[in-house]
Chains A and B, each alone.
Chain A
């Protein structure tokens, strides 16, 4: 009978795990069994049997025989490999250091970004009910501005005050519900301790049942029965009560008049990766105008969270929410639809409620929220990390290859002494892994070193704790071994392939084929060039925004919150301060304003002759413009002695343009849409100044002393130049005199203004850091490549020298290709960075122009760095005595 060919796969598998000495007989038996089976049970069953029979050999009795013998050889040699590896590392300290350092920078960067991404992902994950808790969100049709024609909706988490009770009472899916207003700001007093607290959060009683913030003391079932209760974090307890037990004590909190709150619970402070934040928790009833808002379905000011019953149907929940809105707001929505500035299409819902699950909040960037972040950042950073890692490992390979020449004699001797190719591959791989592990240690050290700056750059507070140190170590270890193996394998195969006889005879010439690193070096350099140019442009722009003349003088102005609540008392207080400070020679002037710079704005919309207009409004006093040294173009400043001025306004030039006034001083602005009067008289026109950040154009704005527009809650105190600290102390003294029971706080106007650009500043910092990394790493790559080049051309250069070429020519000859590479990289990178940076600059209405000189400068920097890097090898080769290189010929 003609034998039927059996399938090959089982044998290949068997060969992989079966010891060689046993393999032949086992294979024979299997074949024999297969032939028998074919006759007995048919081909297909025979094949199945063969497969299972082979699989059956995968058992300890066979495999252990295998590894046992293999282990024996390896354990003997591994000691030697490690010894040789450490000798080699020590012999070439400089090279080893550069190589290890490049890799450790890559590893460190990756680990940091791993931590960053982990932190992003860990947000709000610690709540036991995280999958049942939803935040309600409004989605309303934007009939006014049409910001985005594709998606003409506004989304926000701020909802109506009465909604919480309505959903809780009317919807069967909702078990718990709470409202949440954070960032409350008030002076808090206990005994003689007065501080101003900026992190007061107003919630409902259900808050404690829904979220897993551990209650250290107090009863979650009985809390917030009264509206004058407070829950505080341990830090606050320590701050006010020290060692005393805070429970049952009374805190005086100034919310539109001082009230006494009884501390009934201590709640663990939220961790850094929490979207919810508080130092002090107070019942919702204490929010401003609570009673008014409670019946207002038209005011959107309160985020609302609900906890649904397990397994609730989200589709019916959504439709129930729609019904609920119809029930409570049907009339209102109809009215809004009629009054809309532009007609609302009939099929569009004016207002809808959507919701998102607690773990989604942090990365849902379309909904404004504390600490919300764009998932793109994680992706961009992850991409950068991966790129840096790939580049670092390729550099590692090319650097390893440069040393191969000096190892060839060793390889030859080892081969003559009987080393097999496999063993040599192992040796070089292990060497590479050892060096990689060394880099890992440096890398982890770098992580610890750079964690704080990294946290500052990214605005996070990642700490290395027991919980994340294990995955971090695991990740870096796996990464390291992987890179070590990957990077070691090419040099290992290359070196082990030498022919011993020709190596030892000395006639061996081999060119290290590292052509594949060339495009990579271009890529690396292009990346660095891109980063250099981008950071330069960012730096220039930041410098521009921080030094630009804003139209007023922001120097030596202290911003002091009046701390007298939102009411006429503030205005009186500002007046008293001004009178008192007039005696101080160091204080030049004191002005009051409703809103200081970079602390928000208030915008007024009004219709004039049927046309919708809007202007920014600043409640000020007569000293405002003089304190800021803003210039009046026409008319006069407010005068406290003229009573009519309290109803007059000063407008900016943008408003004049907007209204198309020829003679602004004869005009009135009817911003109240007063049907009887003509509105407010314009008494002056101030030259345009940047009351908003430079991201925005100067838009119509007016100043008014009218108390209906707001009270003077903030003082601007202009002091004389020099010795600011003593002047601040003087102010503190005066404050103590006039307002002993309120905290004295201040900031500097110029710093406030600069803080508006913090996000950009942070990204610039990240860019600069990445630029540093990228330059470093691409230099390493270039260093490696130039090393290989110099190595390959050593003999050529020797011959050239013998023929009479001088060091100078050889130097140029060796460096030329790399300068070319750097230039190509720049040509590639320049348009990309031009494009990206133009998009970045779009955020600013006021910006620098990107000129050629920026590109030229960065090109020069890059070319210089490249030249410096490659010169080491070029010098070395150029200075080499030709006799050294040629004596073997």
Chain B
């Protein structure tokens, strides 16, 4: 698979990981996505996407500390890597440039 490629859902999850910072773990991401974009997503889908992003090197993960909540199970916290950040930035640039190329919008914006 092309490493430069990022799927729509992957991009969403990656962005959310960036937003949540220290609190970016599976269940929190599900709730955050629901809150911010109103999309009900499945926990397993988020997990799978996170692992895929980790494979691609856009996020890294570490195990958080144990708490009394969630039956004492530790959280796997995800962090956006530099590569991930660069990727997000590149996507934003790309989208902006493409945006500018749409003629009608150019006229309205001018």
Interface residues of A (CB under 8 A from B): 3, 22, 24-33, 35-36, 53, 56-57, 59, 61-62, 65
A20 to chain B, nearest CB (A): 13
Residues on B with beta carbons closer than 8 Å to the beta carbon of A25: 25-26, 63, 73-76
Residues on B with beta carbons closer than 8 Å to the beta carbon of A62: 44, 47-48, 51
| Distance of A31 Cα from B70 Cα, bound (Å) | 5
Q: A30 and B51: CB pair below 8 A?
A: no
**B32-70 Cβ-contact flags toward A at 8 Å (1 or 0):** 000000000011110110011000000000010000011
Residues on B with beta carbons closer than 8 Å to the beta carbon of A24: 63, 73-74, 76
Nearest opposing residue in chain B for A19, CB measure: B51
Q: A28 and B75: CB pair below 8 A?
A: yes
Known contacts A25-B74, A53-B43, A56-B43, A32 near B27 by CB under 8 Å: yes
| Distance of A61 Cα from B73 Cα, bound (Å) | 22
Q: B51 and A65: CB pair below 8 A?
A: yes
Tell me, yes or no, whether B71 is within 8 Å of chain A by CB. yes
| Distance of A59 Cα from B46 Cα, bound (Å) | 12
Nearest opposing residue in chain A for B55, CB measure: A65
| Distance of A261 Cα from B57 Cα, bound (Å) | 88
Total of A-B residue pairs, C-beta within 8 Å: 66
Q: B71 and A31: CB pair below 8 A?
A: yes
Residues on B with beta carbons closer than 8 Å to the beta carbon of A22: 47, 51, 76
Quick one: which of A28, A36, A65 contacts B73, CB cutoff 8 A?
Answer: A28
**B71-82 Cβ-contact flags toward A at 8 Å (1 or 0):** 101111000000
Nearest opposing residue in chain B for A27, CB measure: B73
| Distance of A59 Cα from B74 Cα, bound (Å) | 23
Q: B70 and A28: CB pair below 8 A?
A: yes
Q: A29 and B74: CB pair below 8 A?
A: no
Q: Which 7 A-B pairs have the closest CB atoms?
A: A28-B73, A61-B48, A25-B76, A56-B44, A29-B26, A29-B27, A32-B70
B89 to chain A, nearest CB (A): 27
Q: B48 and A59: CB pair below 8 A?
A: yes
Q: A53 and B44: CB pair below 8 A?
A: yes
Nearest opposing residue in chain B for A5, CB measure: B71
Q: B47 and A29: CB pair below 8 A?
A: yes
| Distance of A32 Cα from B47 Cα, bound (Å) | 14
Nearest opposing residue in chain A for B26, CB measure: A29
Residues on A with beta carbons closer than 8 Å to the beta carbon of B75: 25, 28-29
B71 to chain A, nearest CB (A): 5
Quick one: which of B25, B27, B52, B74 contacts A61, CB cutoff 8 A?
Answer: B52
In the complex, 7 of the A-B residue pairs with CB atoms within 8 angstroms, ordered by the A residue number, are A3-B71, A22-B76, A24-B76, A27-B71, A30-B43, A33-B43, A59-B48
| Distance of A33 Cα from B76 Cα, bound (Å) | 15
Residues on A with beta carbons closer than 8 Å to the beta carbon of B42: 53, 56
| Distance of A33 Cα from B43 Cα, bound (Å) | 9
Q: A26 and B47: CB pair below 8 A?
A: yes
| Distance of A31 Cα from B43 Cα, bound (Å) | 12
Q: B26 and A26: CB pair below 8 A?
A: yes
Residues on A with beta carbons closer than 8 Å to the beta carbon of B63: 24-25
Known contacts A33-B27, A61-B52, A65-B51, A28 near B44 by CB under 8 Å: no
Quick one: which of B45, B51, B52, B74 contacts A28, CB cutoff 8 A?
Answer: B74
Residues on B with beta carbons closer than 8 Å to the beta carbon of A3: 71
Q: B44 and A59: CB pair below 8 A?
A: yes
B43 to chain A, nearest CB (A): 5
Residues on B with beta carbons closer than 8 Å to the beta carbon of A30: 43
| Distance of A31 Cα from B75 Cα, bound (Å) | 11
A14 to chain B, nearest CB (A): 10
B32 to chain A, nearest CB (A): 13
| Distance of A53 Cα from B76 Cα, bound (Å) | 18
| Distance of A74 Cα from B13 Cα, bound (Å) | 34
B9 to chain A, nearest CB (A): 12
| Distance of A479 Cα from B48 Cα, bound (Å) | 38
Nearest opposing residue in chain A for B77, CB measure: A25
Known contacts A3-B71, A24-B74, A35-B70, A29 near B48 by CB under 8 Å: no
Q: B43 and A29: CB pair below 8 A?
A: yes
A770 to chain B, nearest CB (A): 57
Residues on B with beta carbons closer than 8 Å to the beta carbon of A56: 42-45
| Distance of A83 Cα from B47 Cα, bound (Å) | 40
| Distance of A31 Cα from B26 Cα, bound (Å) | 12
Nearest opposing residue in chain A for B64, CB measure: A25
| Distance of A57 Cα from B50 Cα, bound (Å) | 13
Which residues of B from 16 to 33 have beta carbons under 8 Å from A?
Answer: 25-27, 30
| Distance of A33 Cα from B28 Cα, bound (Å) | 9
Q: A31 and B44: CB pair below 8 A?
A: no
Residues on A with beta carbons closer than 8 Å to the beta carbon of B76: 22, 24-25
6 more CB-based (< 8 A) A-B contacts, given A24-B63, A29-B47: A27-B71, A29-B27, A29-B75, A32-B27, A53-B44, A59-B44
Residues on B with beta carbons closer than 8 Å to the beta carbon of A29: 25-27, 43, 47, 70, 75
| Distance of A3 Cα from B47 Cα, bound (Å) | 24
B44 to chain A, nearest CB (A): 4
| Distance of A59 Cα from B45 Cα, bound (Å) | 9
